[in-house]
Chains A and B, each alone.
Chain A
Amino acid sequence: MNTDNQFRVLAIEDELPIRRFLQTILEPEFNLHLAEGGHAGLAAAATTKPDVILLDLGLPDLDGIEVIKRIREWSAVPIIVVSVREREDDKVTALDAGADDYISKPFGVNELQARIRAALRRTLQQTPEPVFSSDELMVDLSNRRVTCHGEEIPLTPTEYDILRLLVTHAGKVLTHSQILKEVWGIAYLEQPHVLRVNISNLRRKIEVDPSRPKHIITEPGVGYRLKTI
């Protein structure tokens, strides 16, 4: 089999059973490299130039967050955190450090594969699709037009900025501080209520039932995610 045509996935994971399991489920589709610890993982990331990195946060030799930070010093490769730590703080720390996605153990095979594909899709489209559509919602970035069921929806500049940010990272969780920093600037990091109010208004405009949102999904304690189909 020509491995050059396959995407390279680097899994940094210290537990042998999980490495074996990852091998079983990922090998047929991806070119998988395994690293047992943080230092080995950093070395492997430099030599194998992976397209996606799967990272366990609880490594024995180096904290996972530190691994993310060091990789981010020289590479923008998508990092998917795979961890048993399911507390929101850990997720936020990992995402703010530069991780792209987060998946909790135990995870479903399909879910993991889907997340890897989504991460790959995002890196492949260097310039994002100018038009995003999901069910009745359409966001045309090139014309700054947002429509729902074909009807144009008037948005304030801030609301549009938030929606544009979510669209360009569709499917990915953005933490509160990431959105605040991008839309309002670093001075607003401690003002989560401005984000809450704007998200609430945005939902009222684009969601059918704002209390059961179908597009802008809240990840409790972490941030927001725009749902893709």
Chain B
Amino acid sequence: MKISRSFSGYVGAVTLVVLASLLCEAVRPSLAPTNMVMLYLLAVVLAAARLGLRPAILTAFLSVLAFDFLFVPPRFSLRVSDTEYLVTFFALFVVGVVISSLVSQIREKVEQVERQEARTSSLYYLTRDLTVAVDIQAIVVALQQAVLRTFSSRLTVVLDHVSFSEAIDNDKFIPLDNNSSIIAHWVIQSGRRAGKGTSAHSDSPFIFVPIKVGSQTVGVMVIEECEATLTENFQLIEAFAGQAAMALERVHLTIQAEEARILRQKNHLEQALLNSISHDLRTPLVTISGVLDSLLNDDLKYDSNKRWAMLSTASEEATRLNRFVGSLLDMTRLEAGVLSPRLIDCDVDEIIGCAIGAVEQRLGTHQIMTSLEPNLPLVPADLALLTQALVNVLDNAIKHSPQTEDITLSVRSDGTSVVITVCDCGSGVPSGEESRIFDKFHRISVPETVGGTGLGLSIAKGIIEAHKGKITASNRVQGGLMVEVILPATAPDTLIQGN
């Protein structure tokens, strides 16, 4: 490559001299030989600007010879009749060489600036890409693109313990063989670069550059040798590695911060859980064990009415305790991911029927007024889970409704989704807390008589979201709370098949 390039330079030099000679021959009748030197100088300048230093010097040398041979009398001989021409030859050669070196210096400077510019811009692009990289994979992809853009080489990044080459399935990465993996780990351990053009493992076809955060090596960039000699560009590659290290550090810190935030939140939740459990589990137990103890010790002290009253309170509390334990189990299953819905196309009628059937015994003086649009589409649902979710929503409405007030349940559809709306005439929620009522253990400040676990609606939310649906709450203008459950409907074409 290098040889052929300089060869073409020398051919260019010869060509330029031939052209200059032909031009001189053309103007010979009207030009004194000394002035023809100017035309040869022009050829030297062109050679210096276009072909480089050595071809330019060759041009100067050939120009002297050609001028002497062709135009200085006696023509077609190297002999010089007039010794004054020796000065001309000398001046032509010296001026040619000086011009050549000056021009080629300028040219080199320009090339250097261009290279610098290319490096700066590739570094700039890399920095820009790394700034927006949110995870390790994005960083690796940004590095790969930078290396591909700058050197047209492929790249693989090996991080401490994990190789990310598997994660990115395109042709930009190099599959690492066993030997390369060993070298990569050596680089991580030693923190020194290795591979082709370095002092260590120079027999490898790749170049290994450590990515260092502080004094610790967190990974290795493995780069393929390519057209541009990478060894000349070690500085730039190391700059890439530096940028990558900073980005990795940043991502690492972000992950840590996120983990810390989750941990804080979890602690907060666990505290709430403990408070709630100790309250909700103990309160019914106080009543139950109190009643049982009193009856066990002083059975005769109470008449049958009193005994009945005490026992029915204890029984109610036992039911409440059972439901709380059930909710806790549901919540735990939901969080452990055990409650994964098995979706089967269901009739909305059937879902509503099951939910209302389940709360019927707890309705008391309330009534549930239903209004269902005709020809509702099917809903892909896990009937048992979705029923549970709606039961929780209905329970919440029953709990917060003043006696004798009706609860309305309506269902409508726009074809792509089914909207189930449950309205009560209670006191609603304080504005701004509409979404917080779905938080775990969130209970709006209501009289103690409204005993809830603070889990029902969050379980409902968990189940609805597992159905790819949405649940929202808002205060009604006329008072009370409206809970809206939006579920995706089955596409109509599968409905025909179902029939």
Contact B345 A220 (CB under 8 A): no
User: Judging by beta carbons under 8 Å apart, are B356 and A196 in contact?
Assistant: no
| Beta-carbon contact of B383 and A221 below 8 Å | yes
Interface string of A176-197 (1 = CB under 8 A from B): 0000000000000000110011
Q: Which residue of A lies closest to B368 (CB)?
A: A212
- With beta carbons under 8 angstroms apart, the residue of A211, A217, A221, A222 that contacts B382 is A221
| Chain B residue at minimum C-beta to C-beta distance from A200 | B347
- Which of A106, A218, A221 is B353 in contact with, Cβ under 8 Å? A218
CB atoms of B322 and A106 under 8 A apart:
yes
Separation of A162 and B347 alpha carbons in the complex (Å): 18
Q: Provide the A197-228 mask, 1 if CB < 8 A to any CB of B, else 0.
A: 10110010000001111000110111000000
Q: Distance (Å) between the CB of A215 and the closest chain B CB?
A: 11
Cβ of B110 under 8 Å from chain A:
no
Question: For residue B498, which residues in chain A have a CB less than 8 angstroms away from its CB?
Answer: 193, 196-197
Q: Are A106 and B318 in contact (CB under 8 A)?
A: yes
Binding site secondary structure of chain B: helix
CB within 8 Å of B: which of A124-167?
Answer: none
Q: Which of A88, A210, A211 sits near B384, CB closer than 8 Å?
A: A88
Taking residues whose C-beta sits less than 8 angstroms from the other chain, chain B's interface range is 20 to 34
Pick the contact of B345 from A196, A203, A210, A222 — CB < 8 Å?
Answer: A196
Q: Is the CB of A217 within 8 A of B357?
A: yes
Q: Name the CB-closest residue of A to B494.
A: A193
Residue among B345, B354, B382, B499 making CB contact with A218, cutoff 8 Å:
B354
Q: Is the CB of B350 within 8 A of A218?
A: yes
Interface residues contributed by chain A, number (CB under 8 Å): 19
Q: Is B106 an interface residue (CB 8 A)?
A: no
Query: B226 contacts the other chain (Cβ, under 8 Å)?
Result: no
Identify which of B345, B346, B357 contacts A212 (C-beta below 8 A): B357
**A200 to B372, alpha carbons, bound, how many Å?**
15
The docked-state distance in angstroms from the alpha carbon of A203 to that of B350 is 10
* Residue of A193, A200, A203 contacting most chain B CB atoms (<10 Å): A193
Which residue among A197, A199, A211 has the maximum number of chain B CB atoms within 10 Å of its CB? Answer: A211
28 contacts between A and B (CB under 8 A): A86-B326, A88-B384, A106-B322, A192-B344, A193-B344, A193-B345, A196-B346, A196-B347, A196-B498, A197-B498, A200-B349, A200-B350, A203-B349, A210-B349, A211-B352, A211-B353, A211-B356, A211-B372, A212-B352, A212-B353, A212-B370, A218-B353, A218-B357, A218-B383, A220-B354, A221-B382, A221-B383, A221-B384
Chain A residues within 8 Å of B, Cβ to Cβ: 86, 88, 106, 192-193, 196-197, 199-200, 203, 210-213, 217-218, 220-222
